[in-house]
Amino acid sequence: EPEVTQTPSHQVTQMGQEVILRCVPISNHLYFYWYRQILGQKVEFLVSFYNNEISEKSEIFDDQFSVERPDGSNFTLKIRSTKLEDSAMYFCASRRSRQGDDEQYFGPGTRLTVT
């Protein structure tokens, strides 16, 4: 069964450094998402991406964040200058673009630790 994959599973970085989190969505899906979950808190939407551009973003997704689909398979989230409060699990999700089917499937996540 196709699944969303993410790399790395765990990233440790120092405050102020740039990180890139990678995702490979399910191959026939057209909508891609990033969510984050700070330890002990709820899953929060960051950004959605469709047709090679951002379609929606939350207040969390400020100028420090960017997303890109550099090729036909990868979908990346870049954090330019990490802060301690960026420590969280980051989940990629994807969805087919099909009438009446809004199901999103999540990858295993990347645990980001900023020290």
Partner 1 sequence: QKEVEQNSGPLSVPEGAIASLNCTYSDRGSQSFFWYRQYSGKSPELIMSIYSNGDKEDGRFTAQLNKASQYVSLLIRDSQPSDSATYLCAVNKGSARQLTFGSGTQLTVLP
Cβ nearer to partner 1, comparing 31 with 65: 31
The dihedral through the CA atoms of 62, 33, 81, 12 has a sign that is positive
Sole binder of partner 1 in the list 91, 94, 112, 114 (CB under 8 A)? 91
Interface with partner 1, residue 107, by CB under 8 A: yes
- Residue closer to partner 1 (CB basis): 93 or 114: 93
Cβ 37 to partner 1 shortest distance, Å = 9
- Centroid of chain to Cα 85: 16
- Within 24-63, the residues that bind partner 1 by CB under 8 A are 31, 33, 35, 41-45, 48, 50, 55-56, 58
C-alpha span between 11 and 59 (Å, rounded): 24
Q: Which two tokens stand for residue 70?
A: 């550099």
Is the CB of residue 32 less than 8 Å from the CB of residue 50?
A: yes
Residue 44 · residue 108 · CB < 8 Å:
no
Residues that bind partner 1 in the complex, under the rule CB under 8 A: 31, 33, 35, 41-45, 48, 50, 55-56, 58, 89, 91, 93, 95, 100, 102-109
